[in-house]
Every structure is written in C-alpha cells, then in structure tokens.
Amino acid sequence: MYLKLVLLLACLGLARTVEQVRYDNYKLYQVQINHLQDAQLLHDNEQVLKLDTWREARNLGEFSDIMLPPQYQEVFESLLNRHNVSYNLRFDNVQRLIDEQRPKQRTSSMEWTQYHTLDEIYAWLDQIEKLYSHLVTPFTIGKSYEGRPIRGIKISYKPGNSAVFIESNIHAREWITSATITYFIEELLVPRNPAIRDIAQSMDWYIIPVLNTDGFVYSHEVDRFWRKSRLPSDPTGKCIGTDLNRNFNYRWMQIGASADPCMDTFAGPYAESDPEISQLTSYINSSIPEGSIKIYISLHSYGQYVLSPWGHTAEEFPEHYPQMMAVAKGFADALHRRNGTVFTYGSSPTLRSYVTGAGKEWAYAVKNIIIPYTIELPDKGQYGFALPPEYIIPVSRELTDGFVGMIQAAREIHVL
C-alpha cells in the first residue's frame, strides 16, 4: 500500500524528492583509548560535537573509529590535544570513499566486483531459482515497513539434513555482508572443490541476503551510512528507524541498547516492533522444522570477530560456550589459512560490547540453537563500513573457507 501511494504521488508530481546525503570533507578518526577518562571524554561530547562512532574501543589501548562533520573538527582535535588523547586521521574526505565505491558503469549481472542494489540482488535470485530449481526453494518471510518483500532461499541437496540459518544486512550500511553471502550462495550451488561440495550437500542452508530491505535501499539511494530500519521512531517524525539487531524478544532493552529513538542503537518501542524481526521469528517458528537449525549466523561488519552469547554479561557464559568456542576456532583457523586474516572469537562483551535483543541471543535462549554467532567481517578499521569493492571477492573466499571449517569443527564435537 505504501509503495502504491508513493508511485501515485510520483505520477502526480507530488512526491517529495529526497536529497542524497553527502559527506564532503567529513573526517574519519581513530582515537586511542588509553584511560577510562578518554572514553568518558568522547561520551560526554558525543551529542555536542555530533560524533558518529563507527566502532567503540572495548579495552584500554584500542581505538574508537569516529566520523565527524567539518564544522566540529577543529574543536574536536583541540579537545583531544588538550586532554593528551592520541588519535590518527584515517580519511580527510569520507565522500571520496563513497564516490570510489560507486562504479562509473554499473552492471546488473552479479559478478562481485561492485556492490549491488536490492533490485539487482533480487533479479539474481530470480535467475538462480530458475537455473537450480532442483536445489533452491525460494521463500519470503513477509514485507518490510515500506512494503518491500524480504526474500530468502533454502538450498538443499537431499532431505533429512541439519540446517544453517544466515541473515545478512540487518544493518543497512554493512554492504559487504550481502555481497559476500551472495558469493557464498553461488559457491554452494556450483561447488569448486570437494570441501565446499561436502558442506553444500550435507547441510540445508537458509539464507536471507538482505533482511533490512528498506534501510538497504535507503543506504544506496540517500545515506550511505544509514544503519537502522525505516519505521518512524517517534511521534514528531524527527527520528526514523530501529536497530533491528536490538529488536529481538530476548532480554530486550536490558543493556547495550538505547531507548532514544534518535540513537543508532534504538531498540524500538517494544520487542519485535518492526515487521522485519517479527516476521523473521515467525518464519523460523512456523516454517522450519523444530530442532533442525543447528547453527544461526547474523552476518555483520566490521572488526573480524566471531561473537557468541551471552551479550548481557561478561561474567557468565552459556552452558554450550565450550562448543561455541570450538566451532568458532574451526571457522577462524580455516579462514586464516588463505591470507593470514585473523578473526578473534569470544562472547560479545568480552570482545566488543554488551548487547541484548540481538539475533544470536534469541536463537540460543529461545530456539535452543547451540551454535549462534554474530560474525563481523573485515576489516579492522582501515576502511570500516566503506570497504572498497575490490575486497568483495577476497573476503568472500575467506568466508567460504571459514564456513567449511565451521561445519567440520561442529562435526568433530558432534554438534552435527
């Protein structure tokens, strides 16, 4: 209904043109957090100086990645210098990074040398559903707030397999996630070596390439660094969107989430408030045989982590934490062998940050899926969310290696 209304208004010339957000002369800083007061300094000035924190340091000695508009940069640098806080300038013009990501000549075919739009990804899904109809079963969990279908596929070579469930691009700006998972789909359908053929044939794979369809389209058409959904968050209409990875119905809004609709980690007005999450959980509950999903993956970027429950505490660990770590090690070790890329694994608070209402927490606590992860893809801050498209294929090949190692490790400890 929403899209029909927009189309009608467009035809009448009444639709409001949305101006594309630009980041000309925005700077990306890496700020070293050597003391607790350094972190507090950033927190105290976050709203005043419009700090956009891409990644927050978890431990002393680590870096926080912060983007800043031009009008606040001189004050920010003076503040850091005055308090003897070390920092590096990663990029002096973020818009240049964005422009370099957009190809001079687009190709609609999927070849993993550019970041594709939702329409292009869906056109490719149409193609593989026809080409590999004996292996691929398409499904739609429902529609987004703006009326877009949220599509996925099930890849199955034979009945009776255990399953892996993967949701990707729950955060709109993390384009590398849908790029790599579509590459992995291609690998499952046309295995290039025996190890990939083995995991393709021995497991069922449920994959949603773009869960946050509205936000993803918005990040392509309007604001490259948009994170949330597009559901209006407050009555004034000033703040839009929910952090969908804080909207699951397990320990919702307890810690690591915001009640402020203007914040990037806003968890929504209530658990499963957004149709993307309520329909995802409903699909898993009603359309997938109970107990068949053995591994749940929420694919994100960036940081090179494999993060497990619990997200609400760093002092307690789930019953199956040893199994989670064994399988995460299998993933990280297999991936490392190709290019030497290092992934760190552990629970969210011990490595990254506290989080509740996340997909992996719900998968473990509610659905009893004993191997649930948030996987944060590369890099470690060199480009952050603006990872250039030439990294798509190398990261995709590493992820494929990692999934092979993950399944092999899960077998070794009899999870599968």
Average pLDDT over every residue of 229-247: 92
- Express each pLDDT in 166-186 by its tens digit: 999 999 999 999 999 999 999
Q: Is the pLDDT of residue 272 over 50?
A: yes
Average pLDDT over every residue of 382-390: 96
Average pLDDT over every residue of 396-409: 98
- In angstroms, the Cα distances linking 10 to 16, 143, 240, 278, 327 are 8, 22, 22, 30, 51
The edge-to-edge listing of strands for the beta sheet with 371-377 is: 136-143, 149-155, 203-208, 162-168, 293-301, 371-377, 305-308, 344-347
Q: Is the pLDDT of residue 222 over 90?
A: yes
- Express each pLDDT in 309-367 by its tens digit: 999 999 999 999 999 999 999 999 999 999 999 999 999 999 999 999 999 999 999 99
- Express each pLDDT in 70-127 by its tens digit: 999 999 999 999 999 999 999 999 999 999 888 877 777 898 999 999 999 999 999 9
Question: 8 falls in which pLDDT band (50, 70, 90)?
Answer: very low
The tokens of 204 are what?
């069922």
Average pLDDT over every residue of 285-293: 98
For position 10, what pLDDT does the model report? 39
For position 51, what pLDDT does the model report? 95
Q: Name the percent of the chain in helix, strand, coil, to the closest 5.
A: 40, 20, 45
Distance CA 200, CA 153 (A): 14
Higher pLDDT pick, 252 / 6 = 252
Q: Is the pLDDT of residue 13 over 60?
A: no
Distance CA 355, CA 82 (A): 33
Of 12-21, 120-129, 158-167, 259-268, minimum mean pLDDT range: 12-21
For position 400, what pLDDT does the model report? 98
Please give the domain boundaries of the chain with CATH numbers for all domains.
27-101 (3.30.70.340), 118-413 (3.40.630.10)
Give the DSSP letter of residue 92.
S
Catalytic residues: 376
**Helix H or strand E encompassing 44:** helix 36-45
- Measured at the alpha carbon of residue 255, what is the angle toward residues 176 and 209, in degrees to the nearest 5? 25
For position 17, what pLDDT does the model report? 62
Over the chain, what is the mean pLDDT?
Answer: 94
Give me the amino acid identity at 46: E
pTM of the model: 0.94
Q: Is the pLDDT of residue 306 over 90?
A: yes
The tokens of 51 are what?
């700090």
On the 0-12 / 13-18 / 19+ scale of CB atoms within 10 A, 352 is buried
Q: Is the pLDDT of residue 11 over 80?
A: no
Q: Compute CA 162 distance to the chain's CA centroid, rounded to the nearest angstrom.
A: 24
Average pLDDT over every residue of 57-76: 96
- Report the share of the chain in percent with pLDDT over 90: 90
For position 109, what pLDDT does the model report? 83
- Express each pLDDT in 193-213 by its tens digit: 999 999 999 999 999 999 999
Question: 280 falls in which pLDDT band (50, 70, 90)?
Answer: very high
